[in-house]
Amino acid sequence: MPDGGGRKPKGAEAPKPRYEVVKDFVLSRIASGEWSVHARIPSENELGPMLGVSRITVNRAFAELAREGRLRKVPGVGTFVAEGKPRTGLSSIESIVEQIRARGMEWSCEVLSLGSVALTDEAADALGLPRGGRLPGSAILHKGDALPIQLEERFIRPGYAAGYTEQDFSARATYEFLRETGEVTEMEQAVTAILPGARLSRLLAVGSRDPCLVIRRRTFRRGEATTFSRLTQPASRFELSGRYRMQDGPGGHFSH
């Protein structure tokens, strides 16, 4: 029972803000396929009476969904379901296949190389190996609805993830295999922006002045670098994002 001060019983959940209810309604229609990609959805004036909320409430929900890449607002025309971009965070390792599918796109890929590959100077330094050798590796071009999304170039320390070069990565992600067979105790990532050269422009179907994001990722097993990946994607088709909990304290800081 509530106490004399009108407090909620322990364990009772506060009702969702109304704009969150509107967001859930919109996302449920998108997830069910009732509102497909590029479809025009009811306006703020139309949706408000449908859900029993004000136009201001719908406007806030639409604005947040637009920032999250789920809706696209065209002034004077209407609001549409956005195609969206695959996204990843900087504090986690995620499957590019699932990122593409989560945006309602069909994943496919081209396995450009798989086997014993030449060790680049960048990969040698990242893995702490002598330059000029060869080691297990792959280059895979991931696509969403046949559009290039990411070029994944991966190098594997010899003796780690046995059987890597015998896998069919046209049917499953390298991420899935490494998650099952490898052991990761640490991970680090760094991101830079580049303009693509001729090879990248051709593979990613972008112009020479179209910026691309490069994620350089190392994984470790008990202090030893085990894999190095160079992940390149057109900035217009891919998004980096993250949400982190701040620790309590006067100034607050990111938790580690």
Q: Give 66-93 pLDDT, tens digit per residue.
A: 766 678 888 788 998 887 666 666 667 7
pLDDT for residue 21 = 92
Residue 31 binned pLDDT confidence (cut-offs 50, 70, 90): confident
State whether 32 and 92 are in the same domain: no
Q: What's the pTM?
A: 0.65
pLDDT for residue 236 = 84
pLDDT for residue 93 = 77
- pLDDT single digits (tens) 15-28: 788 999 999 999 88
State whether 27 and 145 are in the same domain: no
The share of the chain scoring above pLDDT 70, in percent, equals 83
Q: Residue 153 maps to which CATH number?
A: 3.40.1410.10
Comparing 42 with 256, which gets the higher pLDDT? 42
The share of the chain scoring above pLDDT 90, in percent, equals 57
**Interval 36-55 mean pLDDT:** 92
Q: Residue 63 maps to which CATH number?
A: 1.10.10.10
State whether 113 and 234 are in the same domain: yes
Residue 13 lies in a domain: no
State whether 92 and 218 are in the same domain: yes
Sign of CA dihedral 179, 91, 239, 243: positive
Structure tokens at 31: 């997830």
Residue 204 binned pLDDT confidence (cut-offs 50, 70, 90): very high
CB atoms near residue 30 (< 10 Å): 21
State whether 95 and 222 are in the same domain: yes
Output the DSSP codes for 90-143: SSS---HHHHHHHTT--EEEEEEEEEEEE--HHHHHHHT--TT-EEEEEEEEEE
Round the average pLDDT of the chain to a whole number and report it: 85
State whether 117 and 61 are in the same domain: no
State whether 194 and 123 are in the same domain: yes
- pLDDT single digits (tens) 156-173: 999 999 999 999 999 989
Residue 73 lies in a domain: yes
Range of the domain at 177: 87-240
pLDDT for residue 154 = 98
State whether 63 and 113 are in the same domain: no
State whether 93 and 72 are in the same domain: no
State whether 131 and 195 are in the same domain: yes
Residue 12 lies in a domain: no
**Count: domains in the chain:** 2
pLDDT for residue 38 = 84
Residue 250 lies in a domain: no
State whether 156 and 206 are in the same domain: yes
**Interval 208-214 mean pLDDT:** 94
State whether 193 and 214 are in the same domain: yes
pLDDT for residue 244 = 57
pLDDT for residue 100 = 83
How open is the CA angle 131-137-139, to the nearest 5 degrees? Answer: 115
pLDDT for residue 121 = 96
How long, in residues, is the chain? 256
